[in-house]
Amino acid sequence: MSDYQFIITEVDGGVGMLTLNKAHRHNAFDDELIAEMTAALRELDADPEVRAVVLSSTGKSFCAGADLHWMRRAAGYSAEENLRDANQLADLLATLNELSKPTIARVQGPAYGGGVGLIAACDIAVGSYDALFSLSEVKLGIIPAVISPYVLAAIGERYCRRYMLTAERFSAAEAYRIGLLHEIVPGDEQLDEAIGEILDALLINGPCAQAECKALIRIVAGQPIDEPTITETAQRITRVRASPEGQEGLSAFLEKRSPNWIAE
């Protein structure tokens, strides 16, 4: 893996770990952190040894949103420079959202603004009881525009109307109730145990099938169940069933053995 200044990356047992490592700044975004995260995600996605990616943070905060120093600099940017920054964040979130491998957010503390966007762009999110959340942009006179597609997909329009407009902080229990988190646990040890169990489940499944599932969800989500959607889904299962992985999986099931993607 490449060397980075503000993140830590490692690969172990088929799991790629991407850890935000700016604890002294509460892992807040700036242009450098965004660039490093985007590059690292692409590197992990291209690594054939990586079957799943866990996004985590050092320190007390998961991600405090935009860094104040960065925002202070951005206040003097031209329209073109502001658009460049917005596009860089949009590129990071799209890269995370469209990663071909399953992604898990390990949320151990507060997540504000763009930090909520990171969680929403992951496939699975687990948080500790003391995690806090806020879509805080309107407090600063701005809007959560770039993260909005992912947050809307995660918690729906109704809860976005409340939390994007009020900028209230809400608890891990509320994040679980509205769908931002899939699971909540008491502390760090239980957080690692829960993520370990999810990884165990992920790693026994077909990697190509998981990538195809992610693409399927993106295509089908929000679409009417009409003839084009029905045709699309039928074509996808036909193609995947005939693929080498699909044939291997079906053969392994019928022969009562483990498929070849499971390490012995």
| Catalytic positions | 137
* Residues 108 and 125 sit within 8 Å (Cβ to Cβ): no
Q: Where are the alpha helices (DSSP H) in 98-168?
A: 114-121, 148-166
Q: Element (H or E) spanning 258, and its range?
A: none
Number of neighbours of residue 38 by Cβ within 10 angstroms: 18
Buried b / exposed e along 65-96 (16+ C-beta atoms within 10 A): bbbeebeeebeeeeeeeeeebeeebbebbebb
Q: DSSP label at 112? A: E
What strands lie across the sheet with 169-171, from one edge to the other?
Answer: 111-112, 132-134, 169-171
Nearest C-alpha neighbor of 61 from the set 123, 120, 134, 138: 134
